[in-house]
């Protein structure tokens, strides 16, 4: 595989166009996590999702890594599927983490990836391509973007753990 600026641009456009599949996964995940943690989580609109895709791809170093993972997952297929379980899971986790940003969000996105992945079926993903990585790709996009997007009360405002130096 060769990744060029054109490849990155193509993957950016493809991810933006996934809004009809990814946004419902994000909102279903937020509802589920909200129930589990007894909190309200704001839903995401297609417009908000696309804006955040643009933000991810505005950082060239992040964009090339996201594009590479997406391209791999879009094309990844393993005879019999199950023997390829590890590689598509690893790529999915890393894609979700890369989209979410640095720690602690990257770790949260990886954990959320598994929650989303068990609920995503191949039939609802990757335009019916049937590749082994298709469900992991949509799960990773949903987990990464749902983690990085606002809407979680604990992320609003300043952290009570921030230390501010007062001496010079």
Domain boundaries in the chain?
5-149
The residue ranges of DSSP E strands in the chain, in sequence order, are none
pLDDT digits (tens, 9 = 90+) for 131-151: 667 789 999 999 999 999 887
**Full-prediction pTM beyond 0.85?**
yes
Kindly report which listed range (74-88, 109-123, 124-138, 144-158) carries the lowest average pLDDT score.
124-138
pLDDT digits (tens, 9 = 90+) for 26-65: 999 999 999 998 988 999 999 999 999 999 999 999 999 9
- Determine the Cα–Cα distance for residues 99 and 71; give it in Å rounded to an integer: 15
> Is the separation of the CB atoms in 77 and 83 below 8 Å?
no
pLDDT digits (tens, 9 = 90+) for 123-133: 445 454 556 67
- Determine the Cα–Cα distance for residues 113 and 136; give it in Å rounded to an integer: 8
Angle among Cα 19, 20, 26 to the nearest 5 degrees reads 65
The residue among 81, 107, 88 whose CA lies nearest residue 96 is: 107
What's the maximum distance between 2 C-alpha atoms anywhere in the chain?
63
- Determine the Cα–Cα distance for residues 97 and 66; give it in Å rounded to an integer: 10
Q: Is the pLDDT of residue 78 over 80?
A: no
């Amino acid at each position: 595989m060769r990744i060029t600026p054109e490849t990155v641009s193509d993957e950016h456009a493809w991810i933006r166009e996934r809004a009809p599949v990814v946004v419902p996964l994000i909102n279903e995940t937020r509802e589920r996590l909200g129930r589990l943690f007894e909190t309200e989580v704001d839903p995401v609109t297609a417009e908000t999702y696309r804006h955040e895709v643009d933000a991810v791809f505005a950082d060239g170093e992040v964009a090339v890594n996201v594009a590479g993972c997406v391209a791999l997952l879009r094309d990844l297929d393993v005879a019999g599927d199950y023997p390829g379980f590890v590689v598509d899971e690893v790529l999915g986790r890393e894609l979700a983490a890369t989209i979410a940003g640095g720690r602690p969000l990257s770790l949260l996105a990886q954990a959320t990836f598994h929650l989303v992945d068990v609920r995503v079926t191949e039939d609802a993903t990757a335009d019916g391509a049937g590749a082994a990585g298709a469900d992991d790709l949509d799960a990773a996009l949903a987990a990464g973007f749902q983690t990085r997007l606002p809407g979680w009360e604990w992320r609003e405002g300043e952290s009570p753990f921030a230390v501010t130096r007062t001496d010079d």
